[in-house]
Structure 1
Amino acid sequence: MTPLLFPAYADAIRELDVAAIASPAALPEHFLLAREGRISMHYIPFEHVNTEARIVVVGIAPGFVQWKNAMSEAQRRMTAGDDQAEVLRAARLAGAFSGAIRPNFVALLDAIGVQRWLGIASCASLFDADAHMVQISAILRHPVFVDGRNYSGTPGMAKLPFLREQVLRYFALEATQLPDALYIPMGSSVAEGLDWLVREGVIRRDRILHGLPHPSGANAERVAYFLGRKERASLSSRTNARQIDAARSTLMAHMAALSDR
């Protein structure tokens, strides 16, 4: 298991003036973990792994705003005298699925039966009483910036040795601690990355829930159609109803098969 990096950064985090950092370009050099050409990766205290988790929600990478939120939360917890484990747990959860994205995400999971597999009334409790069942993660654990902007999946991570190395160094080791969890990719780039890890023998293919629409507000029409809140006839040309229908059917069958085991 990779040793925790946090002890080497704790003093710098404690002394950091988070409000004064206005862009990725202003991140202190001390937090730089690696750089290759246009791509840089910077430390964030996202090292907590909930080994009880049955659901792993996988984003692409923390962005700049998440970096600031995590650093602020870590500072707050250290000032309060919390131990290292609690600082890391709180920092990783800071801002996770806040705003409109959370109810969309809960509705999507409930629609395919994840709550029945977990034995709970609704996946809404994953953000409250049943938080011990979920790990909020990212296939690239630490923030990655391309030309000073949040990495969004281009260039593809499976095609770049630099990014593949980061996936294997951090997320793959996290996944080995959660072999029986279900992995939910947030977006096509993450799905491709998880499929690469299947080929690498890190994750079992049947543990990945492919095909859920991304729950962001920008994806509102696809989410509404997936949930049956919008009729097919009223969809815009940007929404592929057949593809969504197929994904919904596959996901529901997948969850039904898991629940019957």
Structure 2
Amino acid sequence: MEQDLSLAVTHLGRISGALAANLLDSRTMTIAQDGVLRVAYAPFDYIARNAKVVIVGITPGRVQATNALSAAQSALEKGKSVPESLAEAKLTGSFSGPLRANLVAMLDSVGVAEHLGVQTTADIFRPGSQDVHFTSALRYPVFVDGKNYNGTPDLLKTPLLRKMVETHLAEEAQMLPDALWLPLGPRPEAALRHLAGQGLLDRKRILSGLPHPSGANAERIAVFLGRKSPELASRQTNPAKLLSAFNAIVAQIAALKGASA
């Protein structure tokens, strides 16, 4: 299956000489709009076709989108092709620092490193690696009254947003059927399960229940990793749910390994 880059070609031709921050709010970069809901173009089209792990957020935020536009501008001005510029722009949104460390620790703990045949999943995040693909349930940045979309309105109950899931995310699902899919939060998980229900993604490859790797989830991550006793966790952390998710993912990875043996 070939990726459709027509949207990227059309919009990247409009970014020369303009400030990325201004572009994001311009009419020329608006892909679709429905009342207070607006979808803007930002260069998140690149797909790592050999990825073994796909990490799925909800949608690119304003800062991430502006950085990606700036990176694409810079690459195009250096004479790079559209596909090369898209690849560079996508790298600006990759997880780094504490986020990556937390993510690696959790993936290693549930057996993903062993499943992939590496010592640690830190290896798949090495510079230039094509083993991990970063994406979002909603590929392009979505704004509600000019603010970053945070899950309201419900993406599967909103025709404009559901269409994005069933086109852009579905395209990626079909191109990466053998990867492990890691949704970061309930909205991305719902989007992936929606595609699985349509037969576009293997439900067994969706690893649900890992806490988001942000620092705000430090206690949840600690309980998930066994670094903090469930008895010492606060009520908001819901340790029983986290431990259940941990055990379910470990079993899921083991089953996948057994099926491929």
Counterpart of 2:252 in structure 1 is 254
2:59/2:142 contact within 8 Å kept:
yes
* Percent identity over paired residues: 41
TM normalised by structure 1 equals 0.94
1:130 Cα offset (Å): 7.3
Change (3 A) 1:56 1:16: same
**2:138 alignment partner in structure 1:** 140
In the alignment, is the contact (CA less than 8 A) between 2:125 and 2:131 conserved in 1? no
Q: Match for 2:11 among 6, 9, 12?
A: 9
Residue 181 of structure 2 aligns to a residue in which SS?
strand
Equivalent positions of 1:98-247 (< 5 A) are: 98-128=96-126, 131-247=129-245
- Equivalent pair of 1:52/1:133 in contact (CA under 8 Å): yes
Structure 1 equivalent of residue 57 of structure 2: 59
Unpaired runs of 5+ residues, structure 1, are none
Q: Secondary structure of 1:14's partner?
A: coil
In the TM superposition, residue 201 of structure 1 has moved relative to its aligned partner by 1.6
Distance 1:129 1:74 in 2: 18
Give the ranges of 4+ consecutive aligned residues of structure 1 lying more than 6 Å apart after TM superposition: none
Instruction: Report the AA paired with residue 13 of structure 1.
Output: I
Alignment TM-score, normalising by the size of structure 2: 0.94
Could you tell me how far apart the structure 2 residues matched to 1:207 and 1:63 are? 26
Measured in 1, the distance between the counterparts of 2:84 and 2:4 equals 19
Give the whole-Å Cα distance in 2 for the aligned partners of 1:97 and 1:150.
19
Change (3 A) 1:130 1:91: closer
Which amino acid in the other structure matches residue 88 of structure 1? L
Deviation at 1:221, TM superposition (A): 0.5
Long gaps (5+) in structure 2: none
Q: Deviations over 1:193-218 (max 9, x none)?
A: 11111112211111100111111111
Q: State whether residues 100 and 217 of structure 1, in contact with CA within 8 Å, keep that contact through their aligned partners in structure 2.
A: yes
CA distance in 1, matches of 2:128, 2:94: 15
- 8 Å Cα contact 1:4/1:47 also seen in 2: no
Matched residue count: 257
The answer for the alignment partner of 2:95 in structure 1 is 97
Q: Which amino acid aligns with 2:136?
A: A
Structure 2: how far apart are the matches of 1:154 and 1:136?
Answer: 22
Note if contact 1:116-1:259 (Cα within 8 Å) is conserved in structure 2.
no
Whether the aligned pair in 2 keeps the contact of 1:62 and 1:144 (CA below 8 Å) is: yes
**Contact 2:52–2:178 (CA<8 Å) still a contact in 1?**
yes
What is the CA distance between 1:230 and its match in structure 2?
Answer: 1.1
| One-letter code aligned to 1:243 | K
Compute the displacement of 1:28 (Å): 1.2
Q: Distance in 2 between matches of 1:220 and 1:58?
A: 20
Residues 171-197 of structure 1, C-alpha deviation per residue, up to 9 Å, x if partnerless?
A: 111211111111100101111111111
For residues 229 and 113 of structure 1, what CA distance do their matches in structure 2 show? 17
- Aligned letter for 2:244? A
1:147 positional shift: 1.2
Residue 238 of structure 1 aligns to a residue whose secondary structure is helix
* Aligned partner (choices 76, 82, 85) of residue 83 of structure 2: 85
